[in-house]
Amino acid sequence: MLMENAEDILEQFCRAASDPVEYGRSIKRKDREIIGFLCTYAPEEIIAAAGFHPFRLFGAHGDISGADQHLQSYSCSLVRGVLEDALAGRCDFLDGIIFPHTCDSIQRLSDIWRLNIPTAFFADVVLPVKLVSGSAEKYLYDVLKRFVKELESWSGRDITDEMITASCEKYNAIRRRMRDLYARHAENPACLSAADLSAVMTASMVMDRADVLAGLTDLVDKLDKTVPSGMSSRRRVFLVGSVCDQPEFYHLIADAGADVVGDDLCSGSRYCDGDIVTNGDPLTAIASRLVSRVNCPAKHYSLTARGDRIVEAVKRSRADGVVFIHLKFCDPHAFDYPYIKGMLDDIHIPSMVLEIEAQLPSEGALRTRFETFVHMLR
Amino acid sequence: MKFLKKILIILIIAVKKLICRKKKRADMREIMTIYYMEAKTARVTDKKVAWITSGGPVEPLIAMGVIPVYPENHGAMIGASKMGRALCEKAEEMGYSSDLCSYARSDISCAVDGGGPIGGLPRPDMLICCNNICGTVLKWYEIQARHFNVPLFILDTPFCHTAYMREMHVYVRRQLEEYIRFLEDVCRKKFNRDTMADVGRKSIQAQRLWQQVLDTAANRPAPLTAFDAFFHLALIVTLRGTQTAVDYYASLLRQMNERVTRGIGAVPNERYRLLWDNLPIWYRLRWLSKKFAAHDACLVADTYTSAWCGAMKYMNENDFLESMAEGYTRIYLNVGVDEMARTVIAMIDKYDVDGVVMHSNRSCKPYSLGQYDIQRIVMEERNIPCLIIEADMVDERNFSESQVATRIDAFMEMIKQD
């Protein structure tokens, strides 16, 4: 259970998570300059160091009309949703947008955005895809360096190493609190609902980062610290996928009798993996975190890096089963699924795969699927 | 026994090559048969086999005497022989989503279960993946590297949305040296830079000839169609850098020039000229070709087959190794939508076309996403009709013949009225 006041903190996060557009407009009204991004590989630390507010775009979950003029039906709901928002004026609070190279679809979204959505600042930060080689890390450093120069020339402000280091320290603190929150939640899933944890994570990628740090610190502090004793009848599941930010999804898993005890999601724990070393050259340090953090399947680390890490995280969180949650038409995740499922089969961890689009499948269908799966875990 | 077998195979291949070379007109099917025969007997003849992506730098492999094998070319053969559906379904049973690239699905399924028109590809000793065509090949080659348990080299070519930056050049150039070291390790022999320079010159020579072949279609009537180009493409993909490819395209160019001189068109009554965009719909080539010919329309050019000579402007035949970083990074698919639109418009002008047919290919997102914007730009700047056909290059389940036929008919009516 949550202690008094933690509810209020949560409320702040949940409000921003449920209506990020309104949140974005509210900070715009305070004369903040906002730079948007879609992918966790965006060097947010640099954006923040330059005095801009980094704002992650998750895309609307509503109907698509305008985006259909630019994107085929076989693009994922994230890409279509973000473009729909932009075309409908729901990104009007953005002063800029950056695209770190992610996947084939986001790569083309970058072009379509550049050609159709007038944005004061636009940058393609073409990060390497291959993260293991000296040349890749050197290239990544050069790309970050160019990005700093682009931001400087557009803003007319200098971005010093000290400013970047200070920003990295803040991000380290935020990511550490997030990891604390995950650890606490894995120990005692009853202390915070998975839907709320997800809302805290996604809200932290859009809210003012000083508020985020204060809120996370308070929340970690005020969460119920008791570790439940005895056996729980509830099952423990682990999520694997990209973005999963719909509260209903988490509610249905909870209703089916399972607790989400960990994830490998870019709207979740992949975001907060790894610290940035702060006693050296800051760009080298940012580059070094980006190549060593848990990788997205669109990036190459090694042939089994993702599978190994997921197996390890599943064991560590003592999960009974894994739910793969794939955005339909997300190629990198769909390609990785059979081998990672195979690795889980080898350690006798049952899994299910769920393909979702902007809107979840009907509640009844989803409920039945989760119930059947959780039942199997008993 | 093995020694005898080796001698026998080498002899058979040598004789076949000799016969092939003596012929007045080089025969694509024969060349490809010999090529696959050599690849399939590589283990006996002690040659190494590398699987490589269609946009990958093959020249260093040729220079090292490694036989390059192209899963994408294999995918095209699977599609053309209408075996894609069954193989894709098999991959889906293995857990691969039906939304994934059909080349990848059919190749993955062949690697595990065999099958396909040539009974699967020869087992690789190494995999070379260049992501200048898509991110799909990265995932696909990771899967094959795990399956075959062989070394994988990834050439990471940063995407050039608006420009080719200096740091990109430095990065790719460095990786080319890493590539050479990788080959030396796997082949256990030294890389010869003189041989490489020679292969590089032949590669450029073949690309130039291929471009000249495609250019002949600027004549009225066009001596060849995009459907012919899809067929003749095989060698510029697979044997770029060899004398075989140079000879083949030199001979093909002579044939095309002869047709031009004699005024022979590929479509009997060519009245309308069209440009094709994206990969072919391999399992419906003949049907599409007849469909357009029935409207007296000729697909005179396409953005796909010309992609194998489109980056020639960045290459220096006298310093191939140095210039190939830029050449391989700035290929048609690895650039922004606006630059692709400019290329399409330049082709519209060069080949004097009346309309554009775009294949919106579910299997290929980098090629297809952005087509709607290219269509809009083309219509604004050249005011010619653009048709979009929804399909897939290999998986027939994503093709509706009646729907496509109706749309082509309506599109041709529009062109005829103009």
In this structure, is residue A258 part of a structural domain?
no
Cα nearest neighbour of A136 on chain B = B171
In this structure, is residue A99 part of a structural domain?
yes
Query: Burial of B318 by CB count in 10 Å (0-12 exposed, 13-18 middle, 19+ buried)?
Result: exposed
Domain boundary among B188, B222, B248: B188
Please tell me what DSSP assigns to residue A228: P
Which residues in chain A are contacts of B366 at CB distance < 8 A? 104, 107-108
If one counts the domains in chain A, the total is 1
DSSP labels, A164-220: HHHHHHHHHHHHHHHHHHHHHHHH-GGGS-HHHHHHHHHHHTTS-HHHHHHHHHHHH
In this structure, is residue A222 part of a structural domain?
no
Ramachandran assignment for B361, one of left (phi > 0), alpha (psi -120 to 50 degrees), beta (any other): beta
Contact call for residues A157 and A50 (beta carbons, < 8 A): yes
ipTM value for the complex: 0.96
Looking at the structure, tell me whether residues B9 and B123 fall in a common domain: no
Looking at the structure, tell me whether residues B163 and B57 fall in a common domain: yes
In this structure, is residue A70 part of a structural domain?
yes
Structure confidence at residue A2 (pLDDT):
56
Structure confidence at residue B23 (pLDDT):
73
Structure confidence at residue A226 (pLDDT):
78
In this structure, is residue B319 part of a structural domain?
no
Asked if B97 and A337 come within 8 Å (Cβ–Cβ), the reply is yes
Cα gap A42→A110, rounded to integer Å: 13
**Residue from the list A112, A138, A335 with its beta carbon closest to the beta carbon of B143:** A335
**Residue from the list A297, A329, A337 with its beta carbon closest to the beta carbon of B95:** A337
Cα nearest neighbour of A124 on chain B = B161
In this structure, is residue A85 part of a structural domain?
yes
In this structure, is residue B40 part of a structural domain?
yes
* CB within 8 Å of chain A, chain B residues 243-282: none
Please tell me what DSSP assigns to residue A355: E
Looking at the structure, tell me whether residues B115 and B13 fall in a common domain: no
| Torsion sign over Cα A202, A206, A212, A213 | positive
Structure confidence at residue A276 (pLDDT):
98
Cα gap A286→A144, rounded to integer Å: 9
In this structure, is residue B251 part of a structural domain?
no
User: Residue length, chain B?
Assistant: 418
Q: What is the 3-state secondary structure (H, E, C) of chain B?
A: CHHHHHHHHHHHHHHHHHHHHHCCCCCHHHHHHHHHHHHHCCCCCCCCEEEECCCCCCHHHHHCCCEEECHHHHHHHHHHCCCHHHHHHHHHHCCCCCCCCHHHHHHHHHHHHCCCCCCCCCCCCEEEEECCCCCHHHHHHHHHHHHHCCCEEEECCCCECCCCCHHHHHHHHHHHHHHHHHHHHHHCCCCCHHHHHHHHHHHHHHHHHHHHHHHHHHCCCCCCCHHHHHHHCHHHHHCCCCHHHHHHHHHHHHHHHHHHHHCCCCCCCCCEEEEEECCCCHHHHHHHHHHHHHCCEEEEEECCHHHHCCCHHHCCCCCHHHHHHHHHHCCHHHECHHHHHHHHHHHHHHHCCCEEEEEEECCCHHHHCCHHHHHHHHHHHHCCCEEEEEECCCCHHHCCHHHHHHHHHHHHHHHHHC
In this structure, is residue A119 part of a structural domain?
yes
Which residues in chain A are contacts of B371 at CB distance < 8 A? 72
Which residues in chain A are contacts of B111 at CB distance < 8 A? none
Contact call for residues A101 and A73 (beta carbons, < 8 A): no
Model pLDDT for residues B346-405, shown as the tens digit of each residue: 999 999 999 999 999 999 999 999 999 999 999 999 999 999 999 999 999 999 999 999
In this structure, is residue A109 part of a structural domain?
yes
Structure confidence at residue A348 (pLDDT):
97
H-helix or E-strand spanning residue A240? strand A235-241
In this structure, is residue B166 part of a structural domain?
yes
**Residue from the list B96, B156, B161 with its beta carbon closest to the beta carbon of A334:** B96
In this structure, is residue B335 part of a structural domain?
no
What is the domain extent for residue B180?
46-188
Which residues in chain A are contacts of B168 at CB distance < 8 A? 126, 139
**Segments of chain B with pLDDT less than 70:** 24-25
Please tell me what DSSP assigns to residue A260: E
Which residues in chain A are contacts of B173 at CB distance < 8 A? none
Which residues in chain A are contacts of B336 at CB distance < 8 A? 111, 114
Asked if B372 and A328 come within 8 Å (Cβ–Cβ), the reply is no
Cis peptide before A128 (omega within 30 of 0): no
Structure confidence at residue B112 (pLDDT):
92
Smallest CA–CA distance, residue B397 to chain A, in Å, is: 15
Looking at the structure, tell me whether residues B32 and B50 fall in a common domain: no
Looking at the structure, tell me whether residues B60 and B143 fall in a common domain: yes
Domain boundary among B139, B169, B188: B188
Looking at the structure, tell me whether residues B62 and B126 fall in a common domain: yes
Model pLDDT for residues B305-351, shown as the tens digit of each residue: 999 998 899 999 999 999 999 999 999 999 999 999 999 999 999 99
Cα gap A129→A102, rounded to integer Å: 8
Looking at the structure, tell me whether residues B71 and B20 fall in a common domain: no
Asked if A115 and B337 come within 8 Å (Cβ–Cβ), the reply is yes
Structure confidence at residue B364 (pLDDT):
97
Smallest CA–CA distance, residue A183 to chain B, in Å, is: 31
Nearest of B118, B111, B134 to residue B78 by alpha carbon: B118
**Segments of chain A with pLDDT less than 50:** 1
Query: Burial of B406 by CB count in 10 Å (0-12 exposed, 13-18 middle, 19+ buried)?
Result: exposed
Contact call for residues A98 and A144 (beta carbons, < 8 A): no
Structure confidence at residue B240 (pLDDT):
93
**Residue from the list A71, A328, A355 with its beta carbon closest to the beta carbon of B369:** A71
Residue B203: HSE in the Cβ half-sphere, 13 Å Cα cutoff: 33
Structure confidence at residue A378 (pLDDT):
79
**Residue from the list A69, A107, A128 with its beta carbon closest to the beta carbon of B372:** A69
Cα nearest neighbour of B169 on chain A = A139
Contact call for residues B133 and B53 (beta carbons, < 8 A): yes
Which residues in chain A are contacts of B140 at CB distance < 8 A? 335
Q: Which residues pair with A263 in a beta bridge?
A: A239
Structure confidence at residue B202 (pLDDT):
97
- CATH classification of the domain holding A79: 3.40.50.11890
Looking at the structure, tell me whether residues B147 and B21 fall in a common domain: no
Asked if A135 and B369 come within 8 Å (Cβ–Cβ), the reply is no
In this structure, is residue B156 part of a structural domain?
yes
Determine contact: B207 vs chain A, CB below 8 A: no
In this structure, is residue A331 part of a structural domain?
no
Structure confidence at residue B89 (pLDDT):
97
Cα gap A196→A11, rounded to integer Å: 9
If one counts the domains in chain B, the total is 2
Smallest CA–CA distance, residue A330 to chain B, in Å, is: 9
What is the domain extent for residue A85?
11-157
- CATH classification of the domain holding B156: 3.40.50.11890
Structure confidence at residue A172 (pLDDT):
98
In this structure, is residue B304 part of a structural domain?
no
How many residue pairs bridge chain A and chain B with CB atoms within 8 Å of each other?
A: 146
Model pLDDT for residues A296-336, shown as the tens digit of each residue: 999 999 999 999 999 999 999 999 999 999 999 999 999 99
In this structure, is residue B297 part of a structural domain?
no
* CB within 8 Å of chain A, chain B residues 377-416: 390
Query: Burial of B190 by CB count in 10 Å (0-12 exposed, 13-18 middle, 19+ buried)?
Result: exposed
Looking at the structure, tell me whether residues B20 and B118 fall in a common domain: no
Looking at the structure, tell me whether residues B41 and B54 fall in a common domain: no
Contact call for residues B356 and B277 (beta carbons, < 8 A): yes
φ, ψ at B264 (rounded to 5°) = -90, 125
Looking at the structure, tell me whether residues B18 and B95 fall in a common domain: no
Which residues in chain A are contacts of B136 at CB distance < 8 A? 104, 331, 335
Looking at the structure, tell me whether residues B29 and B64 fall in a common domain: no
Structure confidence at residue A42 (pLDDT):
97
